[in-house]
Amino acid sequence: MLNKIKVFAMFLVFIVYGNFQSYAATLERMEIPSSPNPVGSGARALGMGGAFIAIADDATAASWNPGALIRLQVPEISFVGAFFNRSEDNAFGNHSEANGTQSVSLSSLNYLSAAYPFNFLNRNMVVSLNYQHLYDFTREWNFSFNKPDNTDFMYRLDGGLSAIGIAYSIQITPRFSAGITANIWDDRLSNNYWEEKRFQRKNSLDSAGNPFSLESTSYDKYSLKGMNFNFGILWEVFRDEPRKLFIGAVLKTPFKADLTHEGTFYFENQNPLKPNVYLIDINEDATLKMPLSYGIGIAYKFSDTFIASFDIYRTHWNNFVFSNQGGEISPITGKTSDQSDISATYQARLGAEYFIIKPQYEIPLRFGIFYDPAPAEGGTDTILGVSLGSGISYKIGERRIVFDLAYQYRWGSNIGDSILRNWGFSQDLNEHSLYSSVIFRF
């Protein structure tokens, strides 16, 4: 019986299409509801469209480019909160009655860090401890089919992935620095789990014309544990005050995460002519190979008040693989790895920042645009974005308090068709996010 339940691991939606004769649910692939591409944190960075690899001059650098941590001059503590509203306008080509917009909203802690610069052996160094929320899986779908029978569906996905990071940066030469962040993914330390809940009711008629229902309910919880590293460098190419040119690079290592899967599957046939009930408990261990990603950024400081930056980033989603006793599966396609046609994705991000500088305070104005595609079978789903940001940096004696606010809008049209190919599925994505950061510099 367990062989009839295909457990493909994380990031999978399962939609039951009414084939109750198998007495088992089938899982279909899905895209990660939030951006699937690994990026850093912070309202300042997001206000610039995420073009931050060569700028990263605050404690969020541990998530963007640990080599840039060296730019911190004083100890600092940072806190980042996030809120989003995501709507998915779903269209089922073969079941137009199920068309409609599904939406979810959520607020969360996006980043928390403490950084401390020091000098040792005549070298400037910085260490930091960080928490970063990387992926969000919140999604809720409720819809109905009216043919061949009336069928109601409910799907709920909750949870996410985050990491505790320990970062170190060293200034190798006056213009070149390097750094490393060790990311610990462990559900005992931070939220590293997701839960899937599914319900389906199919209303039908028996041979005598009497109505009855078929119902299935399932619950699955996945917990993840693993470790990987971010390696980063920052090079100040030239300095002709006030003009400066920076080049930064970051590599985030692939890793094999341990998965624990617990769940139940309940099925009830209420047909009085052949009633039956099934209850299945699931408990298994599996692994999930997380992909390699890397990026390079360039930032040019035109003056003391204006800087522009550009990043390009690549993620090897073809190496994203779920493994259990049944073999290796691509979570993106739901097929075996050798049957899947998955390509790497490229992000491109462009941002700018302008400062209004006064003796006691500074007010930034930020803008960014980005291309943030999602991996899909046979290609990618095009997702674009734009962002705006501002804030205030206020000096109190020798200390400084920085407050930043950023708005980000992501959208995609006619995407997700490979999620449910047999049902003519596609969706339009609209996601609004608000980030706020508070930084205390001592």
Query: In degrees rounded to 5, what are phi and psi of residue 20?
Result: -75, -15
Alpha-carbon 321 to chain mean position: 17
Distance CA 81, CA 438 (A): 9
Amino acid in the structure at residue 400: R
Which candidate, 10, 276, 378, 339, places its Cα nearest to that of 159? Answer: 10
Residue 414: count of CB within 10 angstroms of its CB: 12
* Domain annotation for the chain: domains and CATH numbers: 2-71+111-379+414-420 (2.40.160)
Query: In degrees rounded to 5, what are phi and psi of residue 340?
Result: -95, 140
Query: In degrees rounded to 5, what are phi and psi of residue 68?
Result: -85, -5
Which candidate, 332, 191, 185, 317, places its Cα nearest to that of 257? Answer: 185
Task: With beta carbons less than 8 A apart as the criterion, state whether 11 and 31 touch.
Answer: yes
Beta-carbon-side half-sphere exposure of residue 263 (alpha carbons within 13 Å): 25
Burial class (CB in 10 A: 0-12, 13-18, 19+), 436: middle
DSSP strand pairing (150-173 vs 176-186): antiparallel
What was the pLDDT predicted at 186? 92
Distance CA 216, CA 43 (A): 43
Average confidence score pLDDT of the chain: 87
Distance CA 291, CA 289 (A): 6
Distance CA 307, CA 355 (A): 9
Query: In degrees rounded to 5, what are phi and psi of residue 268?
Result: -135, 125
pLDDT truncated to tens, each residue of the chain (442 aa)? 233 333 333 333 233 323 333 323 333 344 567 777 767 889 999 999 999 999 988 888 899 999 999 999 999 999 999 999 999 999 988 788 899 999 999 999 999 999 999 999 999 999 999 999 988 889 999 989 887 778 899 999 999 999 999 999 999 999 999 999 999 999 888 889 999 999 999 888 777 777 888 899 999 999 999 999 999 999 999 988 889 999 999 999 999 999 999 999 999 988 877 788 989 998 999 999 999 999 999 999 999 999 999 999 999 998 999 888 778 888 888 788 788 889 999 999 999 999 999 989 999 999 999 999 999 888 899 999 999 999 999 988 888 999 999 999 999 999 987 777 677 889 999 999 999 999 999 8
Instruction: Give tens-digit pLDDT for 344-385.
Output: 999 999 999 999 999 899 999 999 999 999 998 888 999 999
As a whole number of Å, the end-to-end CA separation of the chain is 61
